Amino acid sequence: MTIIPFEARKLNESQLQELYDLQCSVQEEIFPEDSHLSFKLWKELLINTNSHYTIFRWLAVIDRKERIIGCGRLSYPNEDSPMFENMKNIADFDIIVESDERRKGIGKSLLAEITAKADSLERHSLQNVTIHKHGKAFCDYFGCTVASERSVNRLYLADVNWKRMREWVELGKIKAPNTKVETFEAVPKDCLEEFVAVYTQTENQAPDYETGYYQGLKVTPESRRHNESMFKEKGYVWTTKISREENGSISGLTEIFYNPEIPNMVEQELTGVLPEYRERGLGKWLKAAMAFYVKSTYPSIEFIQTGNANNNETMNAINKRMGFKPVCDQYLVKLDTSSIIEKLNEKK
C-alpha cells in the first residue's frame, strides 16, 4: 500500500471514476436507498473547489495498477476568507477507506500524512464531521473531543401535515401583522451588509459553538457574493426567505440549496431569528413558508434534509412538529496533532 499526494484536476478519467466509485460505496453504507450524486456534479465539486480554501489531498493505492482504496483531505480557510484569522491554527480533515480494506492501517497512514502536513503549516488542531460509525470509532481511537452531537434529519413531503403548515403561516401573520416574508436567491444589494450581519449573528447562536471547541462563522458582503457565484457555477440554486419588520429591519431567515443533479432532495441550512424578535412564531412561519415553496417550485422533491445539534431544543421541537425524523447520527470532533502523533508512535 502506498500513499500518494494528488491534485484533483490532474487525475485522469479512469482515476476519477475509481475515486467516485469509492465515495459512492461509502455513501451506500450510510444511506443504502439514496441515489448517488451524479458523476458530473461530483467531479465539478472535486475539481473546482472554493478558492477561499487551501486543500491538500492523498490517495491510498495498492497493487501494480495502483487501485484506489482510500483517500484523505486537509483543508483550511486561506487569507481570502473572512475565517482566516479565527482559524489560523485549525484545519479540517476527512478520510475514507474501502470497506474491505479497513483495519489494515490505511486510515492511520493517511492520517499520518495529514497530521505531518498540518503540523508543518502550524495547524495543530484538526476537526472533522463524521456520520459514519467507523469514522467515529477511528477518531475515538486517537482521543478526539466530541464538540457537538448532532443528527441528520429528513422531512418527507408526503408525510407533511400541510394544514399545520398553513396554520403556522397564518399564526405568524397574526402575531407579527406588520412583518413580511421575502424570497430571493442573490441577496439584494440594498440590504447585503445588514443581511450578512444577521446571518453571522444567528448562525453563531447555534449550540454547536457554546463549547468553544468550534470557531464561530464570519460572513462578509464579499464572501457572500463569492459563495453565491461559486454555488451558481456548480448548478445550485440558493434560495433564502427573510422576515422583514415594519421598520425595514431583517429579523430572521431560512435557506435551502437545490441542484437539478440531485432531483429528489433539497438541503436546508441555517434557520434563525434574532433574539429581540422571538416569541412571535417567526421561526415556524419561515420554515412552513419554505416548505410550501419547495413543494410548489420543485415537484420532484421527495424530502428536505437538514442537520441539527441534539441540544438545539427550539429548532428540534419545530422540526419534530413539521415531521422531520433523524436518519443518522452526526459528530463534530476535534483532535490535537500532538495526541495523534503520540498514538501513531505507540507501537513503533
DSSP per residue over 169-230, as a string? HHHHHHHSTT-EEEEESSPPGGGHHHHHHHHHHHHTTSGGGTTSSSPPP---HHHHHHHHHH
Helix (H, G, I), strand (E, B) or coil at 274: coil
What residue type is assigned to position 56 of the chain?
F
pLDDT at 216: 73
pLDDT at 202: 94
Domains of the chain are 2-123 (3.40.630.30), 152-328 (3.40.630.30)
What pLDDT digit, counting tens, does each position of 198-218 carry?
Answer: 999 999 887 766 565 566 789
Report residue 186: phi and psi, to 5°.
-70, 140
Report residue 57: phi and psi, to 5°.
-135, 155
Helix (H, G, I), strand (E, B) or coil at 158: helix
pLDDT at 227: 97
pLDDT at 244: 98
pLDDT at 213: 58
DSSP state of 15: H
pLDDT at 177: 96
Q: Return the residue matching grid coordinates 502506498.
A: 2
Whether 238 and 255 have beta carbons less than 8 Å apart is answered as yes
- Given 3-state DSSP classes, what are the helix, strand and coil percentages for the chain, each rounded to the nearest 5? 40, 30, 30
Whether 250 and 244 have beta carbons less than 8 Å apart is answered as yes
Q: What is the pTM of this model?
A: 0.93
pLDDT at 64: 78
Q: How many helices (H) and strands (E) does the chain have?
A: 10, 12
The neighbouring-strand residues paired with 182 are 242
The helix or strand, by DSSP H or E, that contains position 147, with its residue range, turns out to be strand 145-156
CA dihedral for 21, 22, 28, 30, sign (positive or negative) = negative
Question: How does strand 250-258 pair with strand 145-156?
Answer: unpaired
Nearest to 319 by CA among 156, 147, 131: 156
Residues of the chain with pLDDT under 70: 208-215, 347-348
Helix (H, G, I), strand (E, B) or coil at 122: coil
Question: How does strand 90-97 pair with strand 53-62?
Answer: unpaired
Whether 220 and 82 have beta carbons less than 8 Å apart is answered as yes
Nearest to 305 by CA among 275, 328, 339: 328
The neighbouring-strand residues paired with 241 are 183, 254
